[in-house]
């Protein structure tokens, strides 16, 4: 069970549980259960909550260590999320208080990062570590294989597609953090 900062962020913004739930289009019971650590919300729900609280998605996760000049995130200690369709998983390899967000992603064979292309206010660079990846940006497909990278303006509708029969491992750098 993940630990979330939703209560802290909600209170800082002077919102009640009911106000957050209404704005995020979820039940008050769900917000209450998440804040008390009784349930883990879906990635779609976390995205809605992050949007209402005006923070990047991963800012909802409790930081693994206090802010300092140097932060080490050990393998297995990072925050992780899975896409709503279960095709993609992401591990945050950067600190929550930085200006660059780095994610290690895995996309199953035949999987997509999002059912439909989406956009957010940022810039991204995707690097394929293992496998192949189709990066769809604004309706144009870009094929990447081991070691290839693709940079784009995230305000353009985009998504990642693994149309191969092997899992794909990739890194994504996003600035400012907005995933």
Cβ-Cβ contacts under 8 Å for 62 (sequence gap 6 or more): 2, 3, 4, 5
Cβ-Cβ contacts under 8 Å for 173 (sequence gap 6 or more): 100, 101, 102, 124, 125, 127
Domain ranges in the chain? 6-60, 80-175
Q: Tell me how crowded residue 103 is: count the other CB atoms within 10 A of its CB.
A: 25
Average pLDDT over residues 155-169: 96
Radius of gyration over alpha carbons of the chain, in Å? 17
Phi, psi dihedral angles at 136 (to 5 degrees): -95, 120
Rounded alpha-carbon distances, angstroms, from residue 96 to 46, 58, 167, 168: 15, 7, 27, 25
The CATH classification number of 80-175 equals: 2.60.120.10
Cβ-Cβ contacts under 8 Å for 134 (sequence gap 6 or more): 141, 142, 143, 144, 160, 161, 162, 163
Average pLDDT over the chain, rounded to whole? 88
Q: Is 60 exceeded by the pLDDT of residue 167?
A: yes
The CATH classification number of 6-60 equals: 1.10.260.40
CA 27/CA 31 separation, integer angstroms: 7
**173, two tokens:** 């750098």
pLDDT band at 3 (very low <50, low <70, confident <90, very high): low
pLDDT tens, residue by residue, 91-145: 889 887 778 989 999 999 999 998 999 998 889 999 999 999 999 999 999 999 9
CA 135/CA 80 separation, integer angstroms: 22
Residue 98: its pLDDT value, please?
Answer: 77
The predicted model scores a pTM of 0.70
Q: Same CATH topology for 6-60 and 80-175?
A: no
């Amino acid at each position: 069970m993940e630990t979330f900062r939703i209560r802290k962020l909600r209170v800082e913004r002077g919102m009640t549980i009911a106000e957050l739930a209404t704005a995020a289009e979820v039940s008050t019971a769900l917000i209450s259960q998440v804040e008390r650590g009784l349930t883990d919300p879906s990635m779609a729900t976390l995205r809605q909550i992050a949007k209402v609280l005006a923070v990047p998605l991963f800012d909802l996760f409790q930081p693994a260590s206090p802010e300092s000049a140097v932060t080490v995130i050990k393998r297995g200690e990072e925050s992780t999320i899975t896409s709503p369709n279960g095709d993609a998983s992401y591990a945050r390899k950067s600190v929550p208080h930085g200006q660059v967000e780095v994610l290690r992603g895995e996309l199953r064979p035949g999987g997509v990062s999002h059912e439909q292309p989406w956009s957010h206010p940022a810039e991204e660079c995707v690097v394929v570590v293992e496998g192949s990846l189709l990066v769809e940006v604004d309706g144009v497909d870009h094929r990447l294989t081991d070691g290839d990278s693709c940079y784009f303006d995230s305000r353009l509708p985009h998504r990642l597609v693994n149309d191969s029969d092997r899992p794909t491992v990739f890194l994504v750098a996003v600035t400012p953090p907005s995933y």
